[in-house]
A and B are shown apart, each in its own frame.
Chain A
Amino acid sequence: MSTSTSTLVTGQKANVQLRERRSPLASFGLHATLVVASVVAVFPVLWVLLTSLKPAKYATTTDFVRETTFENYTRLIGDTPFLTWFGNSLLIAGLSTVIGVFVSATTGYAISRFRFPGKRGLMWTLLITQMFPVAVLIVPIYNIMAKLGLLNQPMGLVITYLTISVPFCAWMMKGFFDGIPQEIDESGQVDGLTPFGTFWRLILPLAKPGIAVTAFYSFITAWGEVAYASAFLVGDENMTLAGGLQKFVNQYSSQWGPMAAASVLIAIPAGVVFVFAQKHLVSGMTAGATKG
């Protein structure tokens, strides 16, 4: 870690110096920095992938590839309710994403376009909501969910995840809508569209990059959440991957092979969402971050 740090710093100095006309040495420095940083970024995940393909007895060897096999995967799927957990996670994360994107988009649009009483209060609330520690909320939310009968139900977790992702996403969407010219809204109204119609038919399609980022963020948040998931869901058939794997870790703490296989399978849906979202990530975030 520390070596890569120093490389980064020197690399950056070098390239600032030679902005347009870059010497071969500076080019080399830039590429070297990026390569080191990329390796650090990718390696831990890649290592898990490689480990999952080794036979369990070789899991902790330093060889990159050794007798490639899928036995870890078959064992995982055969011996544990992995697929059930996976399905639960997919359902919960999918619902959180769809509802989260829709709700953040409407909220973001409202605070971007309209002035209404309570707007500033709402904007502050959205910021402050992000400060709420899980620990102070988890017990009371648990009680509410118990009263509403949503404990051990996917919907309970979906609602909880909305409170985590929507405040940030709504800010981001607001920034994004701020960048879409007013004239488009006006033309919609001239054509007789209701405000909802304008939003739905004209603005939303233009906000695709923002939506991509919001969807990515909501999905990742829900897919990887641990604290609520392990507190609210009990019983093998209801758990999500996060909760299930916690159990798994405790049970087979030394079984790195199957754990690695599980990690790879978990990372795949997130990776798919990422591939769809990634080209919009920078433009979408910009709008959100600058205006947010």
Chain B
Amino acid sequence: MAAADTGRPVATAAGGDTPARGRSRATGRETTTGTAPGKAPGRLRRSFSTHWYAWTMVAPVVVVIGVIIGYPLVRGVYLSLTNANERNVERSIGVNQLPATYEFVGLDNYKDALTGDQFLATLGWTVLWTVACVSITFALGLALANILNRKIAGRAFYRMLLVLPWAVPGFVSVFAWRFLYNQDNGLLNKLLAGGGIDAVPWLNDPTWAKFAVISVNVWLGIPFMMVALLGGLQSIPGELYEAAEMDGASPWQRFRHITMPGLRPVSTTVVLLSTIWTFNMFPVIFLLTRGGPGEATQILVTQAYKFSFEISPRDFAQSSTWGVLILVLLMLFAAVYRRVLRKQGDVW
């Protein structure tokens, strides 16, 4: 039966395949070509009969991603090359169907975005926001994971409390923070007033607002980081520490030479993921400040959203242009990140 043939368990093969791919690109390619379908129709049919259930299992994802992400992406790229806005796209007024009248404008939108001040200024803040959020979240998450990885009374209880911000829906926690930050009635300012300090305009002053959004995002992000790193810490064999202790390694040396390398697989992944997520962190900014005051906390995603939903006329072309630029930036980042890791001899 064909099934027996493909049923060939692949974890062993995949296990051998993954490190090879990391070490040299050529090996990876070879592996791929080895399994790629032949061009002859006969081989294609055979390939289908061998792989049909693997394909069946991934089909729903492929279809959904293809339709819901693939088409919008193509469409977004296309819109970014036009001057589409609310007034010239296909729309219906009453019973009349007005055809689209927008035109192809080539790369003009990109030229405008990259030479204008707005995009670059927003990008600067977005990068600052991402770096600040990811590094602070990582540092605190790592510290807490290290503490929770010890034998300590009430560990499970602490862990549950610390993971709580993750379990609370984003808009609820953002509401909670808005409530605390409120300038006239918020608890933070009342406490400050109790200490004789003037009210701080948490969300109404550009600098404080930046501080406020970063704090909230760190607060939201720590649980994920902590749980992932805690998992990573638990997978480091205890014997390594014992051996190091026998050899008289200092605590810092143990942390530096056992904990950090041991966490590497986890930390490289979570740093990559949280960078991507933070860069595109729509809800925190949108719900906390709406990008304000002014445009002080507007990151690329919220600004792009604003272009297509909040300004009049809604500017779909510019919104798409920014969206495509976001995507390009993140893909560049991921590529560079992987390359750096690989240079350092990493498997990923």
Contacts and interface: CB of A to CB of B under 8 A. Distances in A.
A106 B254 CA distance: 40
B68 A115 contact: no
Interface stretch (B102-110, B112-120, B172-180): B172-180
A159 B64 contact: yes
Nearest to A113: B10
B227 interface: yes
Main secondary structure of the interface of A (DSSP, over half): helix
Task: Tell me if B's interface is mostly helix, strand, loop or mixed.
Answer: helix
A122 B140 contact: no
A99 to B, nearest CB: 8
A289 B62 contact: no
Interface residues of B, number: 125
A266 B334 CA distance: 36
A114 B308 contact: no
A139 B308 contact: yes
Interface string A110-139: 111111111110100111111111111111
Nearest to A269: B169
Interface string A185-219: 11001000011100100000000000000001000
A187 B146 CA distance: 40
Contacts of B148: 34
B58 A290 contact: no
B146 A107 contact: no
Interface of B: 3-4, 6-14, 32, 35-37, 47, 51, 53-55, 57-58, 60-62, 64-65, 67-69, 71-73, 75-76, 79, 136, 139-140, 143-144, 146-148, 150, 152-154, 158-173, 175-177, 179-180, 182, 185-187, 190-191, 194, 215, 218-219, 222-223, 227-228, 230-232, 234-235, 241, 245, 251-252, 254-255, 265-266, 269-270, 273, 276-277, 280, 282-283, 286-287, 300-302, 304-305, 307-309, 316, 319-320, 322-324, 326-327, 330-331, 334
Interface of A: 1, 5, 8-9, 11-12, 15-19, 27, 30-31, 33-34, 37-38, 40-42, 44-45, 47-48, 51, 59-60, 62, 103-104, 106-107, 109-120, 122, 125-141, 143-144, 159-160, 162-163, 166-168, 170, 178, 182, 185-186, 189, 194-196, 199, 216, 220, 223-227, 231, 241-242, 245, 249, 256, 259-260, 263, 266-267, 270-271, 273-274, 278, 281-283, 285-287, 289-292
